[in-house]
A and B are shown apart, each in its own frame.
Chain A
Amino acid sequence: MQALADFWRTYQSTVAFAIVNAFFALSTYSVLSAGILSFATVTYAAIGGFVGARLILQTGLDPLILLPAAMAAGALMAYVVALIFLRLESHWMALASLALILIVRVAVINVPSLTGGVNGLSVPVTLPIGVLGILLALAMIVFYRLSVSWYGIAAQAVREDPAVASSLGIAPRRIQTIAFVISGAVGGLGGMLLALVLQFLSPDTYFVNIAFTMIAAVVLGGSYHWIGSIIGAAVFTALPVIAQAFVPHFQEVANGVVLLLIMIFLPRGLVDPRAIRLRRAARNANANANANADADGAPAKVASAAGAAL
């Protein structure tokens, strides 16, 4: 029992960071699921984080009450970004969102009255880890409901082929705008949670490294299902901690190596709905025992590979 308590004390902060990162990953996934690669999650996080921190310092209210404000700020920013950026072609869009992150950092440094400037901003309150867990559970319910809703199916269609989607009566631009607003709300929420976990914000808190690790977490977890983002974020947060035990001083390097290996050998990520469907189909085919060898060979092979991965 004592060992368990020690374990928890040691790794409590890792769990907290994993939960916060899960929000960032979900935010990135939200736009990716509508077929857009955007790094702007960091921008929403920065806005949510600084707005939330400033409100806490000014009003002294409980952070839980102020979370919706951070979400709204992030969502509003995302809406503006969507209006301006969605005109761009896919990879210009990614580059523009990268430029946005760089600009936001400059803005953060130059508005010290709001953000504390280069000295940073300390946030005197925190949230218990249980609350973080509950918030993540709520987010999971929302994302599950979204994934089976009309919107979720439409987003999937837009991701696969915008032209086909619009011929089916789906307006891709509208779906993508909704995806941005969801991404902004979740990102803003994550940003404020990060402020509460770190209890200190600096201009470098929300910078390119978060953007890159989050997109990496989403792809690593599997970008075709929302649960992949959460698993990816957990793996990506836990990995350096685990690696520290084996290769101290090189935990970040280990992170990079694992990311590389996963991308090369499991390009669709750890959670891959297609592989799961194929495996199910293969099992049914085996049960019926009348599938011919050609059709069965390929899915069974994919399924066993996926099985090894899972």
Chain B
Amino acid sequence: MQLFIEQLINGCALGALYALFGLGFGIVFSTLGILNAAHGSYASWAAIAALAAVEQLKLPFLPALVVGVVGGGLLAVVVDQIAFQPLRKRGSGMLGALITSIAFWIILDNLAGTATGQQSLSFPRGSYPGTMFRIGDIPIPAMQLITVAVMLVVTFGLHMLIRRSRFGAAMRAVGWNQTAASLGGVNPRYVVIVTAFIAGATSGLAGVLGGITTHNVSFLLGEGLLLKGFAAVVVGGYDDVRGTAVAGVGLGVLEVMSAQYLSSGLRDGITYALLLTFLLVRPRGLFGSLGFSRP
């Protein structure tokens, strides 16, 4: 029973990472209509930036986290303006943006590999909160609590931003139809840049936290998050951030539990089988609305 609860907590923390990463990926897909293969690279680079801030500049945990998050956001804006803006102007569909994002994925991942010397680095002990809380006999690392809490706060914040604020309305309008949105007094370019920044920043957040909790800072960090975050977005439903959060945590728990009680070889298989099942049977996901479709 104790093992079960420990693994449940591990699963929640892992799932919180997937959810956090999936949030930005889902927002870009549902509002900008871009399937961004480079999204994982933002996470890798944010983790690398935060690690550099810790090691070179001797920054404490919080400022280093901010460096990673802002770095991820800025990288996303740069990629958006170079890779997607020219295509957006021309109005070419999803395929073109997918290809340019693949180009950036190749570029950024290879540069990340060079930056880390093709190794898996990790944050030095003491550069992050390493306290271990205990509830009864069950140890809970502080980083896991922080990850889950951050995920909950970001999900709530994004949900309020998208559904309740004027800017969120502008985002949804631009996602629906750029021309109509600009007729309605929205500056699409500004909205797109802010959206890209938010997506990159959440990806960066997942990257830094994931780099710390999994002790792995390399280009592989982003790749792992990309595949699982993508699954979380599809299972949860594209147009609702709450769905992504629930599905991400669910997938994390499922993954840890199946590795513990079934077989570690099937750990990824179950996630991907679930992903495919959802695509085939219920493509709008757990919480997606019926009327959602992109032209």
> Chain A residues in contact with chain B, CB under 8 A?
37, 84-85, 87-89, 91-92, 94-96, 98-100, 102-103, 105-107, 109-110, 212, 215-216, 219, 249-250, 252-253, 255-257, 259-260, 263-264, 267
Contacts and interface: CB of A to CB of B under 8 A. Distances in A.
A89 to B, nearest CB: 7
Contacts of A264: 83, 86-87, 100
Instruction: Select the residue from B87, B107, B227 with max chain A CB neighbours within 10 A.
Output: B107
A95 B234 contact: yes
A257 B105 CA distance: 11
B266 to A, nearest CB: 7
Contact of B106 (A106, A107, A256): A256
Instruction: Select the residue from A37, A91, A105 with max chain B CB neighbours within 10 A.
Output: A91
Given A103-B269, A216-B99, A253-B111, A96 B90 contact: no
A83 to B, nearest CB: 11
A252 B92 CA distance: 26
A172 B73 CA distance: 42
Contacts of A103: 269, 272-273, 276
A253 B106 contact: yes
B180 interface: no
10 contacts: A37-B95, A88-B279, A92-B283, A96-B280, A98-B230, A102-B272, A219-B96, A250-B114, A263-B96, A267-B90
Instruction: Select the residue from B100, B104, B114, B294 with max chain A CB neighbours within 10 A.
Output: B100
Given A99-B276, A260-B82, A263-B100, A106 B268 contact: yes
Contacts, number: 105
B35 interface: yes
B265 A109 contact: yes
Contact of A267 (B96, B114, B265): B96
Contact of B99 (A88, A102, A107, A219): A219
Given A89-B293, A99-B272, A263-B100, 7 more contacts: A37-B95, A95-B279, A99-B275, A103-B272, A249-B114, A253-B107, A259-B106
A141 B156 CA distance: 58
Q: Ordered nearest first, which 4 A-B pairs have the shortest CB separation? A: A256-B106, A106-B269, A256-B107, A260-B103
A204 to B, nearest CB: 12
B266 A106 contact: yes
Instruction: Select the residue from A84, A102, A255 with max chain B CB neighbours within 10 A.
Output: A102
B87 A267 contact: yes
A106 B272 contact: yes
A257 B107 contact: yes
Given A249-B114, A256-B110, A216 B103 contact: yes
Nearest to B270: A106
Contacts of B272: 99, 102-103, 106
B103 A257 contact: yes
A91 B35 contact: yes
Nearest to B38: A256
A252 B108 CA distance: 10
Interface in B168-201: none
A203 to B, nearest CB: 11
A20 B102 CA distance: 21
Contacts of A96: 276, 279-280
Instruction: Select the residue from A84, A110, A263 with max chain B CB neighbours within 10 A.
Output: A263
